[in-house]
Chains A and B, each alone.
Chain A
Amino acid sequence: MAEPPITENNEIIKLDKARKTYQMGMQEVHALDGVTVSFKKGSFWAIMGPSGSGKSTMMNILGCLDRLTSGRYLLEGRNISSFDDDSLSELRLKYLGFIFQSFNLIPQLTVQRNIELPLYYLGWDAIRSAKRAEELAEEVGLGGRLDHRPTELSGGEMQRVAIARSLANDPQVIFADEPTGNLDSSTGEQILELLVKLNKQGKTIIMVTHEPNIAKHAHNQLHMIDGVIDRIE
């Protein structure tokens, strides 16, 4: 089956009649109810919507953490809808980066080890990994903090570590799930500036948020409601 040519518009991700259905008791719930949307390379998106609108499901699907019930997911023109668990892990490892609201650092590991984590699974050796971790820490403004444990850091610093980690594998797309949700507004601003900077360096960023203040930094805003796209700004 020939794949339609979709890279013509510089598209990196395309959802085509994407549907995700959950079984809630006797009821079927369509968390995504036939969504068709495409994201261009180098764009900065904010996905918005009230809770239960399907934006989390959207994020999990886009981040290759979950699979569609029906429809197609094209990543750089490849249909990955039928990929198995291992192949999806491989995609996340090589192409995607994640930033979470609650940072999701491993508390037992030092900052350096946390940043190195993707490199470990990529099979990098210790020396190269250490060097890369140092560079990334410098880039996000965390130089000299490499030997600390996450618990010794402030929220903003922890999020910087998480960003450094998401950058370790030099991803195509960075997914940010409420990245400023646990931060005060000025720290949140700084984190957002960092994301803007990364976007200017060419990273595609897809961010979930419910705060309009945050969302306004993105080029595009995708509003969801009841599992469908309400509007795109």
Chain B
Amino acid sequence: MKQTKIFRNIWLGVENVLMHKLRSFLTMLGVVFGVGSVVAMLSVGEGASKEALEQIRKLGSNNIIISAVKSAEEEAMATTHSHMSIYGLTYDDQFRVAESFSSIRKAAPVKLMRKESRLRERAMELRVVGTTPEWFELVPREVLAGRVLLPADQDKQAPVAVLTEFGARKILATENTIGQTFRIGGDEFEIVGIIKSESGQAGNIQIPDQQIDVYIPIEVARKYFGDITFIHTSGSRTLEQVELHQIIVQVDNTDNVEATASAIEEMLKRFHKKKDYIISVPLALLKQAEATKRTFNIVLGSIAGISLLVGGIGIMNIMLASVTERTREIGIRRAIGAKRRQIVLQFLIETVVLSTTGGIIGLGVGALIPFLITYFSGMMTVLTLSGVLFPLLISMTIGIIFGLYPAMHAARVDPIVALRHE
């Protein structure tokens, strides 16, 4: 009984709102945009965090990636003929980094080179990654067949290789996978495993693995291919000597990541005359994402706040006008026996119906905005349940707050005066 009464009250409110469709729609526009921006804000913020977490998962959340780069001076020198660039990380760097910090749990050296690979008539250029078994712990990817590199491969300097799914499809086609031998450069390797791979950028950090990778023990890479690379560029050829292209380090605790990164930087500075390395911290992406989220929250939050305020005042304004316009109606209701609080309730419900309807429409608009953002900028957006319920709750609250004054105003109408009101 009590419940049906509430529904009836709400229904009467809806009827009254529907009586003036255009006016009601214009009245609720402010709330529509306010709620729309709240929804958009929440979903963009949520998307930014989720995207960052996704990227960090690909990069390894506690990892620090030290990469070799050609310093600016080397870059300039490289144009002169028959010059050999010597730069990048060294085996000593790897040893020092791994041994100097107690916070470092694991470190994987990475040696990169491009080699033509061949299995009978099928050939493609692969990126050869000379590394240690630690790689597979620091850059964890699903093992599809066989195994990853083992310490024993290292010790025996075994010519074994782990392919990515992509490489395996190209090189092996439909042939039996594990145990197959193929050539990298001029040497034969046995395929011991196939793993999945990720690729591309995560924020401004390159993901360590690529689709065209083949993983071999670093000792084998060094023995077979050496540290010197020939680079052919339009007729001329230059030489480069790089011992290690990357060192990937895992820190024991998220809290220590930044401190360790700057300590590594300090240490490398002492041993390198030129700045021929960069240090990337995946965790920084989270900070970036949070900064993005904060910016969005401030910008959209202010828009939302102002829109909601304006929307609320708009509703209040219209409701006050409506009270004046309906003075006679109020008088009639009072004469018939409506109590003051029933008049308050009637107008309050109308306002809440207005603002909540505005909220629901705003939800639609708000769901469209993140969709467009994702479509045009590629930024990830996520609509959560709380991201939907919270704005709805806000719109209801707006209705109550800004509806209360007009409703009280309505209840103060003197029936005797109101009945003579024209």
Q: Would you call A90 an interface residue if the criterion is a C-beta within 8 Å of the partner chain's C-beta atoms?
A: yes
Q: A106-B329, A108-B19 are in contact. Are A65 and B415 (CB under 8 A)?
A: yes
Q: Nearest Cβ distance between residue A109 and chain B, in whole angstroms?
A: 9
Kindly state the separation between the CA atoms of A65 and B336 in the bound complex, as whole angstroms. Answer: 10
> Of A65, A86, A105, which is within 8 A of B339 by CB?
A86
Q: Nearest Cβ distance between residue B100 and chain A, in whole angstroms?
A: 82
Inter-chain contact A118/B339, CB cutoff 8 Å: no
Name the A residues within 8 Å of B267 (CB-CB). none
Name the B residues within 8 Å of A100 (CB-CB). 419
Kindly state the separation between the CA atoms of A65 and B334 in the bound complex, as whole angstroms. Answer: 9
Chain A's closest residue to B411 (CB) is A85
Inter-chain contact B16/A92, CB cutoff 8 Å: no
Which A76-92 residues have a C-beta within 8 angstroms of B?
85-86, 89-92
Inter-chain contact B340/A98, CB cutoff 8 Å: no
> Of B1, B4, B328, which is within 8 A of A104 by CB?
B328
- Total contacting residues, chain A, CB less than 8 A: 29
- Report which residue of B4, B336, B416 has the largest number of chain A beta carbons within 10 angstroms of its beta carbon: B336
Interface string of B324-356 (1 = CB under 8 A from A): 000011011111111110100000000000000
Q: Would you call A130 an interface residue if the criterion is a C-beta within 8 Å of the partner chain's C-beta atoms?
A: no
Which B391-422 residues have a C-beta within 8 angstroms of A?
415-416, 419
Q: Would you call B270 an interface residue if the criterion is a C-beta within 8 Å of the partner chain's C-beta atoms?
A: no
Chain B's closest residue to A105 (CB) is B332
Name the A residues within 8 Å of B336 (CB-CB). 92-93, 98, 117-118, 121, 165
List the 6 closest pairs (A to B, CB-CB), nearest first.
A93-B337, A92-B337, A89-B339, A104-B332, A106-B329, A118-B336
Interface string of A104-119 (1 = CB under 8 A from B): 1110100000000110
Q: Nearest Cβ distance between residue B416 and chain A, in whole angstroms?
A: 5
A85-B339, A104-B419, A165-B336 given; name 20 further pairs at CB < 8 Å.
A65-B335, A65-B415, A66-B416, A86-B340, A89-B340, A90-B339, A98-B336, A104-B328, A104-B331, A105-B332, A108-B19, A108-B329, A117-B333, A118-B336, A121-B333, A121-B336, A121-B338, A122-B337, A123-B5, A126-B8
Name the A residues within 8 Å of B328 (CB-CB). 104
Inter-chain contact B340/A85, CB cutoff 8 Å: yes
Q: A106-B332, A108-B16, A108-B19 are in contact. Are A89 and B337 (CB under 8 A)?
A: yes
Kindly state the separation between the CA atoms of A96 and B334 in the bound complex, as whole angstroms. Answer: 12
Name the A residues within 8 Å of B16 (CB-CB). 108
Chain B's closest residue to A125 (CB) is B4
Chain B's closest residue to A177 (CB) is B419
Q: Would you call A199 an interface residue if the criterion is a C-beta within 8 Å of the partner chain's C-beta atoms?
A: no
Inter-chain contact B5/A98, CB cutoff 8 Å: no
Q: Nearest Cβ distance between residue B7 and chain A, in whole angstroms?
A: 10
Name the B residues within 8 Å of A105 (CB-CB). 332
> Of B5, B19, B331, B334, which is within 8 A of A89 by CB?
B334
Q: Would you call A94 an interface residue if the criterion is a C-beta within 8 Å of the partner chain's C-beta atoms?
A: yes
Q: Nearest Cβ distance between residue B336 and chain A, in whole angstroms?
A: 5
Name the A residues within 8 Å of B338 (CB-CB). 89, 93, 121
Q: A65-B415, A126-B8 are in contact. Are A121 and B342 (CB under 8 A)?
A: yes
Name the B residues within 8 Å of A120 (CB-CB). 8
Kindly state the separation between the CA atoms of A89 and B328 in the bound complex, as whole angstroms. Answer: 17
Kindly state the separation between the CA atoms of A68 and B4 in the bound complex, as whole angstroms. Answer: 39
Q: Would you call A172 an interface residue if the criterion is a C-beta within 8 Å of the partner chain's C-beta atoms?
A: no
Chain B's closest residue to A122 (CB) is B337
